Structures are given as C-alpha cells and as structure tokens.
C-alpha cells in the first residue's frame, strides 16, 4: 500500500482524509500492525486508484 500511495504522490494524511480514518491507522496498516476491514480496504483501493488484485500481488483482470 505504501508503494501505491507514494506513486500517487499522496502523504499518509492525504490518504487518511480520503478514506475517513486517521493518519495513525494508515501508518499501522502500512507497517503490517493492523489489517484493514474489507470496507476499509475497498476505500483504500479506490482512493489509490488501484484494483483489489494489485493489493494481493495478482495481475489485474483484463477484459476483452
């Protein structure tokens, strides 16, 4: 998640505001100390303009 956040040019504070949590929660998620709930994970994926598969190291689905 940290890599995706940095690629988007976002600070932890920016991401926290975008998903409705505090900066310390983002820090804990990035450090692996806390696992986000599925609704929070969905918000993070959306805020970082990614797809869920990328967060699990899977290739994105290509639609034809």
Which pLDDT score is estimated for 51? 87
Q: Nearest CA to 38 among 26, 23, 22, 52?
A: 52
Asked if residue 64 has pLDDT above 60, the reply is no
With residues binned 3-state (H G I as helix, E B as strand, rest as coil), the percentages for the chain, rounded to 5, are: 60, 0, 40
The overall pTM is greater than 0.85: no
| Residue 60: pLDDT band with limits 50, 70, 90 | low
Of the pLDDT bands very low, low, confident and very high (cuts 50, 70, 90), residue 3 is: very high
Q: Residues 40-62: what's their mean pLDDT? A: 83
User: What's the rounded Cα separation, in Å, for the pair 24 and 12?
Assistant: 8
Give the residue-averaged pLDDT of 6-23: 97
**Gap between the Cα atoms of 4 and 44, Å rounded:** 10
């Amino acid at each position: 998640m940290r890599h995706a956040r940095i690629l988007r040019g976002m600070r932890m504070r920016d991401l926290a505001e975008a998903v409705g949590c505090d900066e310390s929660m983002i820090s804990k998620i990035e450090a692996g100390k806390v696992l986000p709930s599925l609704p929070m994970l969905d918000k993070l994926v959306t805020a970082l303009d990614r797809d869920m598969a990328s967060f699990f190291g899977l290739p994105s689905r290509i639609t034809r």
